[in-house]
Structure 1
């Protein structure tokens, strides 16, 4: 007995046993679902922020974590204070009260404000007149701090308070999907701002990247409910419209949906077991799992009804269904799991998690479709042999069948011309592949129509240095005059870059109180550090160990390749000027690392998924020729056509759209497998090769279109998401399915027709 026969016999036995031992199946499924739900509730959390997209084993992550843990730096909250009388002492005192309130927040290391500048430039207090305030500010700026003052007071009616912090505690812990991260710091800043009474005509706006992240984070749970509810509703309507002519009772529509829902619970359990967090990227898994799950269930239910109508008993119907449709579902599941599983090579952690959890949901959907669903169908079957309403489900040719038959005839008459035209379309997509660009900022992946986003944009437009890059210096005792002079040289070199505006560091604070120079002795350095701690508006006590310190460089709102150039310059100059070990980090570094990793994994994921898919289908069909036709004719063609459409529609690469090629293999090739399987069946029944192609299209028009529309409904709801990363992914997947249909109904038939006509010397008779 061949391997294929053993697999088919095993599937048939599973189907028959599922009906004969229904109670055991229900108990086993219930146990799996309960355990999965428990794992999900106890472990799965919701999370937001750029940290998610950095591999926690990478050097970038280690440098970022080290900065936050050792120096309480890395994140920055800005508070924009606008006033008609900014230099009025009452306004400065209000700023001072805000400074004090923010400084009391546990996670905040220090706060720098206009009040600090006024004190440092005056006699340690706030003058009683506006003229006195202006003189104090000018005196501080003239002492070598002009860039700092310009950043803190970008306009005559605006000042900015800067509050850096490192790690943040957790809020609302316990329970399913507790929140954590930036919401802690934002809620405390908001509360403290409300406690301060501002003078008339004065406003305070809390902003910064953590604030925007918190606002976007707050949309995640409503977004998840909306997307899941929308997917479920649309799919329910589509399935009802497709299946109502074949079902006796309307409630039977819920059965395939039930298997898909159970697969979702198992998927969430897998997330809990693997300690995966729920984030914006993982929101895309829900509609995907639901769409693919209902696709498998729909095919099994349709075949079961067909066998019952033919007079088979529930046990026999389940056995035949599992043997025939179960084979197609198994092949589809295998290719889909390979396509999605290949995402595990991505450099972006949420993309890897996306692949693993999606593959687990597909595997669970397949398992439930050939076990739980037959048992459920048999339980509610009531032993009627028609399997549905009287007269329902007759094989009548309709508009769809006629259109597909005509399409098949057209392709058959001119297969070479069809192949040539489609080849030009596919090659256009190949040309567009390198033209599709990623977004340059992670912030662009999240909702843009938020007040917090407008505040952040306002900050970036008005503040010269809204971003900070950090250089952590380690090695021996860095608190010596020699090392400080080296660091001073390094700072001077970096400040020559037009994108670097000013620097805060222990070196700079020492120079500030020592006439712009570094003391020549250790005792002089220690004294200058103590004096700086008392006089500088910056906290001089950010260093806990004498073996390391941090240099904070305030830079322009740089993005894209400029960031990589700046990172390389920071790192290269550090290795040239300094002998110490250095770490260059900060939010701009994290952002650039993520953007580069998004596209870096695209080609490896594509090659891996298509390579493994080719091997899998070669073994499944025991034919490399068939595997190449399916992979190249359907999956690869669809992927390249999607790339062309992305270029035309302006859809960028992001952590989800880079999965496009894997989705084309995992989702689209399912249709090609069904058409090829029916082609083989018709050919074995004695039809000519051309007739077999046309009949395959005609007979599979409804089920393939029904499955594709159902899947598009699940994915398409993502287009409505407020998260651009999800909305663009929804558009991309809809394009994947549409182009997969084109490849299945046009390219694949043309290739099959051309190959068989050449092989058999046939002429088209349709």
Structure 2
């Protein structure tokens, strides 16, 4: 079947190239339609209760984004301001507030300037007035506005929730323009952060990381190919179909409406790393057949027919590993699954269909230039590389048990690392240290108690009922009493509104209604008074991952055990809680999709080869490669994130390829009567595996050029996974084949 197909591909290669060009043009349009996505709620299933509650906050209580602006004394240069209490600083903050209030999406602002307007009816004119008003404030109120060293203060702008990434970036740019247009005194700077600032930075880094990592991936892969093929033109041969495949994938993502998020942004560099492997194997087999004296058409047909079998199996197993991601309930992993399957399918198809056409075109051009066909000599099949693989094949054949012992030793070393792996999904932790938006959040947390928010939604027949308001008050005070444990800094509820008006909670429902109607702040009840919220602010996201989980579990337990009247319900909600839910789902999904991915790959291998003992030679290195990689993650302190949740399934799908290529070549040589099939298989396929692994890892390591932490981690982990899988294949697959077929083919001796 493949041999007939190979003849068709070679004969009608020009037609296939024209089809590829048409798809390339279509993909160009699709790329212009690509969108970026950073909304946390879009990474979770829509029918999840936490997501529904999050939407309730947006729709019923106009809970939106928060822009936090830190105003601080950044230096002590002569002639400038040294104290944030300087009247000129307060004047600048007030001016910034007025600018912000002109935007339709700003619902409320709060700063130290508001205190002076309320107390004096105007801004302070001198240092005496500044200190007089501050000294009247309760200590906890002062701590929430100004740092203990009087060098930092905070301005908070509450915003309506922006649904699209483009709108959020516009909001950030407009607020930044307002900041830039305010003339702050010398030595003073204002830095934007909060959910808007952090999300903006993530979106900006997603876009830059996509372009940078793809560019570097192509460069690294190109340099490696140039070294092995010794010619810029020949190095382009496996690159051209890869470029087509990556471009088509990104184009189809735009046409299908698949956004680029924390997971799918890596797809460009990943496809470059993985897809080059297919073109390399086809190209290497073609050159091997040419060295045997076959014509260009015969060599192309043989490369497609023989390599195509292994490539088909490799593509199917890799796709099977990635298909497991589609079973996840996390939308980001589902999108990544679709993208990678589509990308790998296109990469494999282009490698088989376009590569022969490019090779033959290059040979024909060289003939016109030089007057004759020239049998190519590539570096991977000569010199120390060829000798090294010959010795490796011979040594594995003669000492299979020792090689299996090496694999066992590596497994024992990495076993400890497996026990140390954890998870981290908080978006704030995705940005590396040193970014201004993250650095100033440290000031927010350690100087002002934190501005992270956890909301508790209370539902009742009528939340204005005095018994409900009293229950809310009890619950709120109980949480505040545990602030040493839960990091809560302040709270807000309808109970506070009522107490602020009357000094107590009256039994008269009408009085409670009157207090709520007079309240001018953020809406705390919905239109039909069936829901209200209790807001808790503090440092929840800046703590260690385990402490973050403990705080969120604390809120869940307190809500579950809250002393509420009959018929009244409470649920934890908000963005901080969504991060916790995502963390829990990532942990559970990690094991599930890894198990399914492994089972899918094993099933594909068994169906293709139908011999359990033979399949073991491919499956074992795959499992070892994945195990060693997870061990490395634990030892290196790399956590599983939403980006890395499918890493095991990916490595399993990729890692089986190397063992499959070795096993397929071994069977081919043994079927032709080769007395030393182990040596020939390692010597013949080994260089292609090495080139493929180096270029694949090179593509993955290009992700290190990105700034987002999980993209860094993904690049390192996938590169280690590729090398681990390659190493496992070289030392385990030939050893297992030798133990299985050693008596049949001869267990040792020199090659004749």
Question: If the length of structure 2 is used for normalisation, what is the TM-score?
Answer: 0.89
CA distance in 1, matches of 2:188, 2:686: 67
The alignment status of 1:666 with 2:643, answered yes or no, reads no
Q: 1:232 Cα deviation (Å)?
A: 1.1
CA distance in 1, matches of 2:434, 2:5: 51
CA distance in 2, matches of 1:235, 1:68: 46
Query: Which of 56, 66, 81 does residue 76 from structure 1 map onto?
Result: 66
CA distance in 1, matches of 2:638, 2:105: 39
CA distance in 2, matches of 1:506, 1:123: 28
Question: Partner of 2:79 in structure 1?
Answer: none
Alignment of 1:645-684 (within 5 A): 645-684=632-671
For structure 2, which runs of at least 5 residues remain unmatched after alignment? 74-81
Query: Which of 193, 211, 233 does residue 251 from structure 1 map onto?
Result: 233
The alignment status of 1:109 with 2:107, answered yes or no, reads yes
Q: 1:545 Cα deviation (Å)?
A: 4.3
Distance 1:192 1:668, change over 3 A: same
Q: 1:710 Cα deviation (Å)?
A: 1.7
The alignment status of 1:34 with 2:28, answered yes or no, reads no
CA distance in 2, matches of 1:583, 1:191: 39
Q: 1:131 Cα deviation (Å)?
A: 5.0
Q: 1:433 Cα deviation (Å)?
A: 1.4
Query: Which of 742, 745, 758 does residue 727 from structure 2 map onto?
Result: 742
Q: 1:135 Cα deviation (Å)?
A: 5.1
Question: Partner of 2:98 in structure 1?
Answer: 100
Per the alignment, in what secondary structure is the counterpart of residue 27 of structure 2?
helix
Question: Partner of 2:748 in structure 1?
Answer: 764
8 Å CA contact 1:224–1:283 kept in 2: the answer is yes
CA distance in 2, matches of 1:570, 1:436: 26
Q: 1:101 Cα deviation (Å)?
A: 2.5
Distance 1:522 1:396, change over 3 A: closer
Alignment of 1:48-197 (within 5 A): 48-82=38-72, 84-87=82-85, 91-120=89-118, 122=119, 130=127, 133-134=130-131, 136-137=133-134, 139=136, 141=138, 147-155=140-148, 157=150, 158-168=152-162, 170=164, 180-197=166-183
Alignment of 1:426-465 (within 5 A): 426-439=411-424, 441-465=426-450
CA distance in 2, matches of 1:729, 1:45: 22
8 Å CA contact 2:191–2:436 kept in 1: the answer is no
Q: Could you list the per-position Cα deviations for residues 662-715 of structure 1 after superposition, in whole angstroms to 9, with x for gaps in the alignment? A: 232222221111111122122223345xx3223322222322212222212211
- The more displaced of 74-83 and 377-386 is 377-386
8 Å CA contact 1:216–1:447 kept in 2: the answer is no
Alignment of 1:329-728 (within 5 A): 329-382=311-364, 389-390=374-375, 392=377, 398-439=383-424, 441-498=426-483, 499-515=487-503, 517-533=504-520, 538-539=521-522, 543-557=526-540, 558-575=543-560, 576-578=562-564, 579-632=567-620, 634-688=621-675, 691-728=676-713
8 Å CA contact 1:39–1:272 kept in 2: the answer is yes
8 Å CA contact 2:62–2:523 kept in 1: the answer is no
CA distance in 1, matches of 2:137, 2:596: 60
8 Å CA contact 2:90–2:112 kept in 1: the answer is yes
CA distance in 1, matches of 2:298, 2:388: 35
8 Å CA contact 2:61–2:524 kept in 1: the answer is no
8 Å CA contact 2:466–2:512 kept in 1: the answer is yes
The alignment status of 1:225 with 2:216, answered yes or no, reads no
Question: Partner of 1:173 in structure 2?
Answer: none
Question: Partner of 1:3 in structure 2?
Answer: none
8 Å CA contact 1:440–1:559 kept in 2: the answer is no
Q: 1:390 Cα deviation (Å)?
A: 4.7
CA distance in 2, matches of 1:430, 1:347: 29
Distance 1:41 1:195, change over 3 A: closer
8 Å CA contact 1:81–1:159 kept in 2: the answer is yes
CA distance in 2, matches of 1:391, 1:98: 69
CA distance in 1, matches of 2:207, 2:144: 37
Distance 1:308 1:405, change over 3 A: closer
The alignment status of 1:303 with 2:285, answered yes or no, reads yes
Distance 1:78 1:545, change over 3 A: farther
Distance 1:130 1:508, change over 3 A: farther
CA distance in 1, matches of 2:363, 2:385: 30
- The more displaced of 540-549 and 593-602 is 540-549
Distance 1:93 1:292, change over 3 A: closer
Q: Could you list the per-position Cα deviations for residues 207-254 of structure 1 after superposition, in whole angstroms to 9, with x for gaps in the alignment? A: 224213323432333322221111112212222222237xxxx53432
8 Å CA contact 1:74–1:587 kept in 2: the answer is no
Query: Which of 12, 19, 39 does residue 21 from structure 1 map onto?
Result: 12
CA distance in 2, matches of 1:539, 1:420: 67
Q: 1:70 Cα deviation (Å)?
A: 2.8
Distance 1:699 1:387, change over 3 A: farther
Question: Partner of 1:275 in structure 2?
Answer: 257
Q: 1:185 Cα deviation (Å)?
A: 2.7
CA distance in 2, matches of 1:110, 1:48: 24
Distance 1:619 1:153, change over 3 A: same
CA distance in 1, matches of 2:109, 2:299: 73
Q: 1:50 Cα deviation (Å)?
A: 3.5
Distance 1:371 1:631, change over 3 A: same
Per the alignment, in what secondary structure is the counterpart of residue 109 of structure 2?
coil
Distance 1:139 1:484, change over 3 A: farther
8 Å CA contact 1:663–1:736 kept in 2: the answer is no
Q: Could you list the per-position Cα deviations for residues 575-616 of structure 1 after superposition, in whole angstroms to 9, with x for gaps in the alignment? A: 432343434222321222333333332221221111111111
CA distance in 2, matches of 1:543, 1:126: 35
Question: Partner of 2:200 in structure 1?
Answer: 214
Matched residue pairs, number?
A: 730
Q: 1:314 Cα deviation (Å)?
A: 5.0
Cα root mean square deviation, aligned = 3.0
CA distance in 2, matches of 1:391, 1:118: 82
Per the alignment, in what secondary structure is the counterpart of residue 107 of structure 2?
coil
Distance 1:30 1:71, change over 3 A: same
Distance 1:74 1:617, change over 3 A: same
Q: Could you list the per-position Cα deviations for residues 543-597 of structure 1 after superposition, in whole angstroms to 9, with x for gaps in the alignment? A: 5442222221112344423333333333343343234343422232122233333
- The more displaced of 541-550 and 349-358 is 541-550
8 Å CA contact 1:71–1:166 kept in 2: the answer is no
8 Å CA contact 1:347–1:598 kept in 2: the answer is no
Per the alignment, in what secondary structure is the counterpart of residue 180 of structure 1?
helix
Q: Could you list the per-position Cα deviations for residues 99-128 of structure 1 after superposition, in whole angstroms to 9, with x for gaps in the alignment? A: 3332332222211222333455x3655566
Question: Partner of 2:78 in structure 1?
Answer: none
Per the alignment, in what secondary structure is the counterpart of residue 601 of structure 1?
helix
8 Å CA contact 1:346–1:352 kept in 2: the answer is yes
